[in-house]
Structure 1
Amino acid sequence: MNFDKIGEMALGSRLRALSTIVSEDAQRIYNLYGVALKPKWFPVFYFLSNQNTGKSITAIANEIGHSHPSVIKIVREMSKVGLVLEQKDTLDKRKNNIVLTPKGIDMSIQIQQQYKDVENAVKTTLNQTTHNIWLAIQEFEYLLNEKSLLKRVIEQKKIRESSTVEIIDYTSKYHTAFKELNEEWIKTFFKIEDADRKALDDPQKYILDSGGKILVAIQDQNVLGVCALIKMKNKKYDYELAKMAVSPKTQGKGIGYLLGKSSIEKAKSMGAKSIYLESNTILKPAISLYEKLGFQKVVGIDTPYERCNIQMELLLEI
C-alpha cells in the first residue's frame, strides 16, 4: 500500500505495518541469540526481570500499558513454556503474583548481550534519521493524552459542517421555526410559561419592535437554530440573550456556539456594553456553552421564569 499517496489519515495503518516489520525482525533477532522468547512477551518478561518480588496481573498491565486480558493471555503462554509461574502473595494469600521461574531468570541473564546490541543498533538507526521517531512518538502520545484523536476528529467535523451554516436576520417566514424549536426544548425539560408565550407567539411585538434582534442559523435552506437578543428595561444590562434553540438533529455540531458568537457580535454592533441571560443548571451543555462564550454567574436579578436558577452576564469590550 502506498501510504504516502493516502497521506496522514493512514497513520494507524502505517504504524501497524511498521510494527509488523519490526516484530518480524525481532523474532529473527531472538533466534540469532538463541533466546526462546516471542516479541509480544517482551514487555511482561522485561518488567518481571527487573522486579525483586512477584507482581499481580493488574500491576503488570498498568506498568506496561496493556489490557488486563492481554496480560493474562501472555502470562498463560509464558507459563506453558516454563518462563513464569503464579504464587501466593506473602502478605495477602487471596492474591496471586507472577514471577519468573529459574528458567526465566536464566534467560534474563542470557539476553543481556542481546539488549546491548539491539539498543546500539536502534540508536545508530535513529541517528541516521532527520526526524527521531522515538522522540516524535513520545510527543504524539503526549498530545493524544491531552486530547484523543476521536475528540480532534469531532472538532474538525464541527468546523467542516459549520462552514456552510449561515447566520441571518429573522424575518416573519421563520416565525414557525422560531416558535417550534423553542417550544420543543422547553417542553422537554420544563413547561411553557406566560413570558414564553408572549415572545414566541408574537416575536415582532415583544422582541423586534422593542429594539431586539432574532438570528436564524440556516443550512441549505433548513433552519438549524434560532437565538434572540431582547432589549432590556433593566438599566444594568443592554440586552438579554434568550430563546436560543437548536434542532435536536443538529445538536452537538456547534450551532449553538455560532449563534451565541453571532449574537454577541450583533449586540456589539448595536452599541451594547453588556449582555444578560437566564438558564437552569440541569442544562449542563448550555451552561458550558455560555461559559465558553465568556459569560459569568451573577445573582440578584428579578426574573419572570420559574425555571431560572442561574443568571449570567457578559461585559463587552467595545
Structure 2
Amino acid sequence: MAIGSRLRMLTEKITEDAAKVYKMYDVDLHPKWFPVFYVLSNGEQKTITAIAKEIGHSHPSVSRTIREMSKKGFVTEAKDKNDGRRNVVGLSQKGIDVKNKAQTQYEDVNEVIEDIISQTRHDLWQAIEEWEYLLEEKSLLRRMQEKLKEKESQKVEVVDYSPKYQEDFKRLNQEWISKFFKMEPEDHKALGNPQSYIISNGGFIVVALYNNEPVGVCAGLKMNDPEYDYELAKMAVSPKAQGKNIGWLLGQAVIDKARRMGAKKLYLESNTILKPAISLYQKMGFKKVAGRISPYERSNIQMELDL
C-alpha cells in the first residue's frame, strides 16, 4: 500500500544527492532535465513527441522541461527540414559543452552505482522492469476494478425464475430496450407472458439477486432449429447494479443450464452499438455467424457458442 510513497522517498533522496553531485563536478544541469538532456547528447535533433516516447514521459512534461532548458540556453528549437510543420530540438553549444564536461561525472557515477548493485541481493533494474511490464499489461486501477467486481459478484445469487419475478423480468428488459431502441412486437410477447412464451415452450429464465433484490435477468429460449438448441436472450442488468459481474454470471448460468439439458449449440442476436454486451459475449466464447432472418429490427449481429 505504501509503494508509491516508498518510491517517491527513494527518488527524492537520489535526486537531492544528484543535485549536489552536479555541483561537485561543476556541471550546471538540473537533475530532472537529465533524461531529455541524455537523449539529445548524441547530437541528433528530435521532436518533443520522439523524446517523450524514448524516455517514457508525457508530452506536456517534456514540453515543460524543454522550455526550462531553453531559457537557460541548453537547447535550441528549429523547424524540421523534412516537415516544416514540426519543430525539432537539439543541444545548443552550451549544452554540448556541458555534455563534454559531464563525461567524467558519468563514469564515476556509473562506478558508484555498480558498487551499490554489487552489495544488494536484488537487482533493482530488473525488479522495476518486471513491475513496469506487468502494469503496462494491466494497470493497477484495472486490477483493483476487477478485484472489486469479483468481491461484489460474491454477493450475487443466480436463481431460477418463478412467477413472482415476472414484473422484474419485464421492467429490467424494458429499461434497457427503451434506452437504446424501441419495444417491438416480439418484446411484448416475451415480456408480457414469459411463462407461456418462454417456459411452457421448453425454455427457461434465470434471475440475479443482489442483496436479495432482482437486478438482472436472462433467458434461454428453446429453438425449433436443426442447428441451434437454445437462444440466449433477454439479458438485462439494472444500471445501479452494473460493474458487479452480473452479466457474466447470468450468461454462465444460462450456458451451464443449457449444457445440462443436453444442448450442443447456443445462438444469440444483438446490436453492435452495445459494445459492452458484444465484448461480454465474446469473452463467453460466442463467435459471429452469417446473418439469419431475425424477428427484431434492432438485430444486426448474430453469434453462436459451440458447447
Q: TM-score, normalised by structure 1?
A: 0.89
Letter of the 2:59 partner, please give it: H
**Does residue 13 of structure 1 match 2:5?**
yes
2:52 alignment partner in structure 1: 61
- Structure-to-structure mapping, 1:105-144, within 5 angstroms: 105-144=96-135
Q: Which contiguous aligned blocks of 4+ residues in structure 1 show a shift greater than 6 angstroms?
A: none
Letter of the 2:11 partner, please give it: S
- Structure-to-structure mapping, 1:1-318, within 5 angstroms: 9-51=1-43, 53-87=44-78, 89=80, 95-299=86-290, 301-316=292-307
1:3 alignment partner in structure 2: none
**What is the deviation of 1:31?**
2.0
Structure 2 vs 1, CA of residues 77 and 297 (structure 1 numbering), >3 Å: closer, same or farther? closer
Q: TM-score, normalised by structure 2?
A: 0.91
Q: Distance in 2 between matches of 1:115 and 1:233?
A: 77
Q: Distance in 2 between matches of 1:201 and 1:270?
A: 26
Letter of the 2:32 partner, please give it: K
Q: How big is each residue's C-alpha offset from its partner over 1:34-87, in whole Å with a ceiling of 9 and x where there is no partner? A: 222111111122122212x43333333333233333233323333333333334
Pairwise CA RMSD of aligned residues? 2.1
Q: How big is each residue's C-alpha offset from its partner over 1:203-238, in whole Å with a ceiling of 9 and x where there is no partner? A: 111112222211111111122210011122223222
Q: Distance in 1 between matches of 2:142 and 2:230?
A: 34
Secondary structure of 2:27 counterpart:
coil
**What is the deviation of 1:24?**
1.0
**What is the deviation of 1:92?**
5.7
1:4 alignment partner in structure 2: none
Q: How big is each residue's C-alpha offset from its partner over 1:118-151, in whole Å with a ceiling of 9 and x where there is no partner? A: 1122222223222211111112212222222222
Q: How big is each residue's C-alpha offset from its partner over 1:248-286, in whole Å with a ceiling of 9 and x where there is no partner? A: 122343211111011111111222222111222222221
Mean CA deviation greater in 89-98 or 207-216: 89-98
Q: Distance in 2 between matches of 1:90 and 1:234?
A: 66
Letter of the 1:10 partner, please give it: A
Mean CA deviation greater in 64-73 or 258-267: 64-73
How many residues in Structure 1 have an aligned counterpart in Structure 2?
307
Structure 2 vs 1, CA of residues 12 and 178 (structure 1 numbering), >3 Å: closer, same or farther? same
Q: How big is each residue's C-alpha offset from its partner over 1:148-169, in whole Å with a ceiling of 9 and x where there is no partner? A: 2222222222112112111111
Q: How big is each residue's C-alpha offset from its partner over 1:90-121, in whole Å with a ceiling of 9 and x where there is no partner? A: 56666544332333222211211211121122
Q: Distance in 2 between matches of 1:80 and 1:305?
A: 65
**What is the deviation of 1:309?**
2.2
8 Å CA contact retained: 2:291, 2:301: no
Secondary structure of 1:191 counterpart:
coil
Letter of the 2:40 partner, please give it: L
Letter of the 2:23 partner, please give it: N
Secondary structure of 2:125 counterpart:
helix
Q: Distance in 1 between matches of 2:139 and 2:36?
A: 26
Identity, in percent, stands at 59
**What is the deviation of 1:300?**
5.6
Unaligned runs of 5+ in 2: none
Unaligned runs of 5+ in 1: 1-8
Mean CA deviation greater in 210-219 or 293-302: 293-302
